[in-house]
């Protein structure tokens, strides 16, 4: 398997080169030359434990790694030492199936990919020599998971930017209490979108990127998306086993489009998934796209689900690449227009549908609190606010069995680019991705339930620890100079 850029300016490269390149050198995103068909492997794969399933998926994409090396790396990544009791167990809660992705070291779904990426970086650098300076941006969970995956690694320094005052206090402490010499936290006086912009501008300076061996841990790095494909197969298999259904629907709370994109790749590979239900909070640029065909910037609104407080979804470019027929030149034009105007659009198909693989909806803050409260009262189960966004949209979708016109407002129940199609509630079953442990957002849980319920020993242990963080202005040059001084 070889890799190319969405913008057509990178000659085909191997998997390990793609991992180190991160953001494509032409400013685009790395994608595989083809999507492998795994439909003939499903019966064998469904019987495998998570680490073996991950190996089978990754070997289709990492063809330049010796199979024995890849197997050892994957098995080590997903051991009980890192994930307890498993990386991605599925549990039944009421009428939905919750895929718990928070059993890693930082209690967030990002651990599943970033523990693997840290091992990949170390493996490649050990064989090729040299050093890697990683630059990342976080709206909350990516930063701590990336730091946990890279702290103390040989040949790696990691620089993580977060928007000052716009991540939860716990998310901030998970990052800034890590004092390893190779870890550098930066609080930027701006939004997450500003952090992403700075990261892409610095990575787009090819002289700087090469001179300082700059790499990426955000989901612009293809390995991040690849690792997340695995748990869609696992969840679909588990829900099938529980219900006997032929296929399942999967609801994904998303802001940067990386997680739901991994689900789309799994669907295209042949995973038994009939529909991806994209759930946003009130920062609903993605939901608006799937309901109107227009992808247009709005203002970022702070919510209790900060990892989704995003307007520019960096992984959306990968999806658009396929949407425009893998035409890199056309995509370059579209992205240039978006950079200039803050808007782009896609025409619906003959049936008036933007994409039959997706349905999209939005959850308000009031709905999120109501959902957290309901699931605690009725099922004794605590949802973090991001997961509650997904569950809220899943429930609205389940209640919507009547057709609706394209352009239904994204905040209405079951706002949907597929709402023209009639279906019965919860048929096929719905899997909801649980992206973080509720203990990471105790204030939101207390506001929803009236009780201080969200606790975890790993979070409690952060209290009183020393911290280290550099506060910088919302300025690309300031971050660039900090990296140069530190390196």
| Residues annotated catalytic, as ranges | 110
The Cα–Cα gap between 31 and 289 comes to: 22
Structure tokens at 256: 């940067």
The Cα–Cα gap between 68 and 148 comes to: 25
The Cα–Cα gap between 284 and 441 comes to: 21
Contact 58/70 with Cβ under 8 angstroms?
A: yes
Identify the residue whose tokens are 């997961």: 387
Q: Are strands 248-253 and 214-216 parallel, antiparallel or unpaired?
A: unpaired
* Terminal CA-CA length for the chain: 34
Spell out the residues 6+ positions from residue 174 whose beta carbon is closer than 8 angstroms to its own: 106, 143, 144, 147, 440, 462
Number of C-beta neighbours around residue 337 at 10 A: 13
Contact 232/350 with Cβ under 8 angstroms?
A: no
Spell out the residues 6+ positions from residue 424 whose beta carbon is closer than 8 angstroms to its own: 401
The Cα–Cα gap between 47 and 70 comes to: 20
Number of C-beta neighbours around residue 172 at 10 A: 22
The length of the chain in residues reads 487
Q: Where are the beta strands (DSSP E) in 55-151?
A: 90-93, 96-100, 132-137
| 98 closest CA partner among 227, 250, 257 | 250
Residue 81: exposed, middle, or buried by beta-carbon count in 10 A (0-12, 13-18, 19+)? exposed
The Cα–Cα gap between 221 and 208 comes to: 18
Q: Let me know how many helices (H) and strands (E) the chain has, helices first.
A: 19, 15
The SS3 call for residue 205 is: coil
Contact 250/236 with Cβ under 8 angstroms?
A: yes
Identify the residue whose tokens are 């059993």: 103
For the chain, how are helix, strand and coil distributed in percent, rounded to 5? 45, 15, 40
């Amino acid at each position: 398997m070889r890799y190319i850029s969405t913008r057509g300016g990178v000659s085909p490269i191997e998997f390990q080169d793609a991992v180190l390149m991160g953001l494509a050198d032409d400013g685009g995103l790395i994608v595989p030359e083809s999507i492998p068909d795994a439909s003939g492997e499903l019966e064998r794969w469904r019987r495998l434990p998570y680490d073996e399933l991950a190996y089978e998926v990754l070997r289709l994409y990492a063809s330049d790694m010796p199979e024995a090396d890849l197997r050892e790396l994957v098995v080590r990544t997903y051991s009980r030492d890192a994930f307890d009791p498993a990386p991605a167990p599925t549990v039944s809660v009421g009428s939905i199936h919750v895929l718990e992705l928070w059993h890693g070291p930082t209690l967030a779904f990002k651990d599943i990919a970033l523990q693997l990426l840290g091992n990949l970086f170390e493996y490649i650098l050990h064989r090729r020599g040299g050093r890697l300076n990683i630059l990342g941006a976080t709206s909350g969970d990516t930063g701590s998971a990336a730091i946990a995956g890279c702290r103390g690694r040989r040949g790696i320094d990691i620089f993580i930017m977060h928007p000052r005052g716009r991540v939860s206090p716990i998310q901030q402490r998970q990052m800034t209490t890590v004092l390893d010499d190779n870890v550098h936290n930066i609080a930027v006086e701006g939004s997450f979108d500003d952090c992403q912009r700075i990261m892409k501008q610095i990575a787009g300076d090819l002289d700087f990127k090469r001179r300082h061996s700059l790499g990426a841990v955000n989901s612009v790095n293809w390995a991040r998306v690849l690792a997340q494909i695995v748990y869609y197969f696992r969840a679909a298999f588990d829900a099938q086993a529980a219900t006997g259904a032929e296929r399942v629907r999967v609801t994904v709370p998303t802001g940067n489009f990386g997680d739901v994109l991994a689900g789309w790749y799994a669907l295209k590979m042949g995973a038994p998934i009939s529909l991806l239900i994209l759930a946003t909070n009130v920062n609903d640029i993605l939901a608006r796209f799937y309901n109107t065909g227009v992808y247009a910037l709005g203002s970022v609104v702070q919510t209790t689900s900060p990892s989704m407080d995003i307007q520019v979804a960096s992984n959306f470019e990968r999806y658009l690449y396929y949407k425009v027929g893998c035409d890199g030149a056309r995509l370059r034009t579209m992205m240039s227009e978006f950079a200039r105007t803050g808007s782009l659009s896609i025409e619906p198909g003959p049936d008036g549908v933007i994409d039959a693989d997706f349905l999209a909806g939005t959850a308000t803050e009031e709905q999120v609190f109501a959902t957290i409260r309901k699931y605690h009262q009725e099922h004794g189960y605590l949802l973090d606010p991001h997961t509650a966004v997904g569950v809220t949209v899943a429930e609205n979708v389940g209640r919507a069995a009547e057709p609706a016109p394209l352009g239904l407002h994204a905040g209405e129940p079951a706002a949907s680019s597929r709402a023209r199609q009639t279906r019965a509630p919860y048929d096929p079953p719905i899997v909801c991705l649980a992206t973080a442990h509720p203990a990471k957002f105790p204030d939101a849980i207390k506001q929803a339930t009236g009780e201080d319920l969200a606790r975890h020993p790993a979070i409690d242990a952060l209290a009183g620890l020393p911290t280290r963080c550099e506060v910088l202005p919302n300025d690309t040059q300031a971050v660039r100079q900090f990296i140069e001084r530190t390196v």
